[in-house]
Amino acid sequence: MTDTNSMRWRLTGYVLFCVIILVFPYILNNDYLLNKYARYLIFGVLSAALSFSWGYTGILNLGQAVSFGLGSYAMAMALKLRTIPIQTGAGGLPDFMVWNNVKALPWFWEPFHSYTFAVFAGLGIPMLLAFVLGWFMFRGRITGVFVAIITLAMLVVINLVIVDQQKYTGGFNGITDLSTFKAFGVGFDAYSLSTYYLVAGTLCVVLLGGLAITRTKLGLILQAIRDDENRVRYFGYDVASYQNFAFTLSAGVAGFAGMLYTLVMEFASPTFLSVQLSLSIVIWCAVGGRGSLLGAALGAILVTGVQGNLSESPTFLDTWMLIMGAIFIIVVLFLPNGLISLAEKGVRLLKHKSARETATHPVAGAAIATFDSKRVRES
Amino acid sequence: MSDILNQVFTGLSLASILLLVSLGLAIIYGTMGVINLAHGEFVMLGAYTVWFLQKNFGLDLLPCLVVSFFAVAAAGWLIERLIVRHLYKRPLDTILATWGVSVILQQGIRLTAGAELRYVKMPGWLSNAVPVLGVEVSAYRIFIFVLTLLLLAATYLLFARTRYGFSLRAVTQNQEVSRCFGINAARVYSLTFAYGAGLAGVAGALIAPLKSVSPDMGTGAVIDAFMVVVMGGVASLMGTVASAAIIGQVSGLLAFVYNDTVAKALVFFGVVILIRFMPEGIFSVRVRRG
């Protein structure tokens, strides 16, 4: 009873948020700001994806930016091949390849002439990478802190490789001077309404779809794995497959967010898979609330919004990272479930007053919550 | 023949630096279950300590090493007291908090000491090459190798022969029971964290003359150390030593054949494949997973 009740509250919150971001362009008709907010919403998608693997399944992926970056490179490669011939070498060879004395288009660039391939690659490559890494880790029953440091190591390694292979990836500069993405007769210019809606629509689908998954049996098992992996294993579930599912799905969503980011930023760069971005994703997720997809998304929008406004004054540009670090530590120490937990507490208090009911744990499903309500969450 | 020997010496030199960096990380993880993501920044702090002392007081490297150890150990002790201490029951969150610490340290150094690359002088008496088995080897690299062995021996004696080491092993095995026997577990944790940090500081001080000193030098160092800890497991010092030796030699060889980046990538994929079959590292005793 209380469970469906709290569900109604959450669903209201999610739908309200979706409506707000969808009607937003009507309130604010400014191309520059629209582009800026589209960026924040993409970070929201990214943060919600991390919340799914970290907050719901207990897999702390410190290398989330790998998926994001690979997605953005896939999109950038396709758009690069369609730039107007002035900026390209003979036979449409990308400019940075000309500068690096590459004579012919490398084989792995060829299929990116097709948009369909690029979109599938932007989703598929991060997912495949996550799946393979996940297979090795979860089958070896690696969990907790080791997953965190292995994913972080992968991030650093892949970043180094991309910077190192300048001939094929544009190195430090990344891939710039892109054409505009067109699909189904609609152009997705970075400052256009269509791009904003593509981004906002993606965030809505990710949030509502993610919420739906967490309500299914699959979602409950994922949360049970987060709370006590071994107990779920003793029930006969194949824990590694479930973990890998969450890990891979999260990587796919992050890859898609990366593709959108290329559309909005009009370039792809190694900073899209930097340690700093990965750290930021984790901070957004922690500040907003790792145990809630909406909380994580809001955390991203809030933190990047504040950052965007502060970085316009030069004093804050330098101290911003210091402030971020401090906020992060404070949230981890004192508010482990993020700002959204304050809101949920408020809602529960309200309900408690009106109905005089004892509230159950809002995150885990009823069956598991009663089964294991007293245990403190450990990784 | 001399080529092979040369390669082996390069590998040994890489391995000893790797061991110095990862020893502290492994000790902290082995005792408290905390992966200290600020470890790379402790290395960086050690390097900056040397730079600071050389620039302002013109000190030689040797006294700087001692100061680095104690300065960074003090920083580690403070961080354990203020932050890490409150998170022992939430191991994943210690990663986050120490990551926050690393950001603050990095940016703090960038704002105070500047973002540009800094250089540290090698002591004169160590800057020439010495013939070993017919191969010219840099005296400084031999110095690092010997110092690593000494520090390793000191660490072993500290753990095996002292009152503190005894308490440390007791607390690692069972914190609650050892507290019943009057061991101050909180103090042991602080000291261990400080000791691990101090080792990282020495490592940073030793690396400083070889590479340029910069605020983000720690990231690269700590990633290699992760590989060592993941591969070696945390059951014993031996695991860390062996895995540092293997990774050092292998990446030295791969870097010679390809380049540093490719070497790093290949070592990473090797370690990932390894953990599928030996999840607890190469040197661990098989225990029942609880």
Tell me how close the Cα of A139 comes to any Cα of chain B, in angstroms.
7
Please report the sign of the dihedral spanned by the C-alpha atoms of residue A7, residue A360, residue A60, residue A324. positive
Mean pLDDT of A59-64: 88
- pLDDT at A366 (0 to 100): 43
Question: Is A248 within a domain?
Answer: yes
Binning pLDDT at 50, 70 and 90, where does residue B3 land? confident
Instruction: Pull the structure tokens for residue B259.
Output: 């380049």
What is the distance, to the nearest Å, from the Cα of residue B37 to the centroid of all Cα atoms in its chain? 12
Q: What backbone torsions phi and psi does residue B217 show, to the nearest 5 degrees? A: -65, -20
Whether residue A297 lies inside any domain: the answer is: yes
Q: Which chain A residue is nearest to residue B98, measuring alpha carbons?
A: A329
> Is A185 a member of any domain?
yes
Report the residue of chain A nearest B271, measured CA to CA. Answer: A150
Contact yes or no for A145 and B92 at CB 8 A: yes
Contacts of A90 by beta carbon, 8 Å cutoff, 6+ apart: none
The pLDDT, as a whole number, for residue A378 is: 40
**A115-149 pLDDT, tens per residue?**
888 889 889 999 999 999 999 888 888 777 788 88
Q: How far apart are the C-alpha atoms of B107 and A176, rounded to whole Å?
A: 29
Q: What is the pLDDT of residue B173?
A: 81
- In the numeric block, the tokens 């000193």 are attached to B213
Q: Please give the residue range of the domain that contains residue A273.
A: 2-369
* CB contacts, 8 Å: B268 with chain A: 153-154, 157
Does residue A376 belong to any structural domain of this protein? no
**Domain B2-277, second-level architecture:** Orthogonal Bundle (1.10)
A371: tokens are 């089964």
Predicted confidence at residue A5, as pLDDT, reads: 66
Residues of A in contact with B89 (CB under 8 A): 376, 378
Whether residue A282 and residue B96 make contact (CB cut-off 8 A), yes or no, is: yes
Q: Which residue of B has its CA nearest to A55?
A: B92
Residue A72 pLDDT level (bands cut at 50, 70, 90): very high
Contact B230 A156 (CB under 8 A): no
User: What is the per-residue DSSP string for chain B?
Assistant: -HHHHHHHHHHHHHHHHHHHHHHHHHHHHHHH----TTHHHHHHHHHHHHHHHHHHH---HHHHHHHHHHHHHHHHHHHHHHTGGGGTT-HHHHHHHHHHHHHHHHHHHHHHT-SS-B--PPPGGGSSEEEETTEEEEHHHHHHHHHHHHHHHHHHHHHHHSHHHHHHHHHHH-HHHHHHTT--HHHHHHHHHHHHHHHHHHHHHHHTTTS-B-TTHHHHHHHHHHHHHHHH-SS-HHHHHHHHHHHHHHHHHHHHHS-HHHHHHHHHHHHHHHHHH-TT-TTPPP----
Residue in A closest to B86 by C-alpha: A333
Break chain B into its structural domains and give their ranges. 2-277
From the candidates B21, B222, B272, which should be mutated to test the interface with A, based on the most A CB atoms within 10 A?
Answer: B272
Enclosing H/E stretch for A330:
helix A314-334
Length of chain B counted residue by residue? 290
Contact A61, A247 (CB under 8 A): yes
| pLDDT-wise least confident of A54-63, A161-170, B102-111 | A161-170
Judged against a pLDDT cut of 90, whether residue A103 lies above it is answered with no
Instruction: Go through A15-24 and write b for each residue having 16 or more CB atoms within 10 A of its CB, e for each that does not.
Output: eebbeebeee
Contact A86, A324 (CB under 8 A): no
A-chain residues near B251 (CB < 8 A): none
- The dihedral formed by the CA atoms of B50, B51, B56 and B60, expressed in degrees to the nearest 10: 50
A375 within some domain: no
Provide the percentage of residues in chain B whose pLDDT is more than 90: 16
Q: Across the interface, do B87 and A332 touch by the CB < 8 Å criterion? A: yes
Domain count, chain A: 1
Task: Confirm whether A379 is domain-assigned.
Answer: no
pLDDT in tens, A158-209: 988 888 887 788 777 878 777 777 777 677 776 777 888 888 889 999 999 9
Is residue A265 one of the residues assigned to a domain? yes
For residue A10, what pLDDT is reported?
79
Please indicate whether, in this complex, the C-beta atoms of B96 and A322 are within 8 angstroms of each other: no
What is the torsion angle, in degrees rounded to the nearest 10, for the CA atoms of residue A260, residue A44, residue B92 and residue A252?
-30
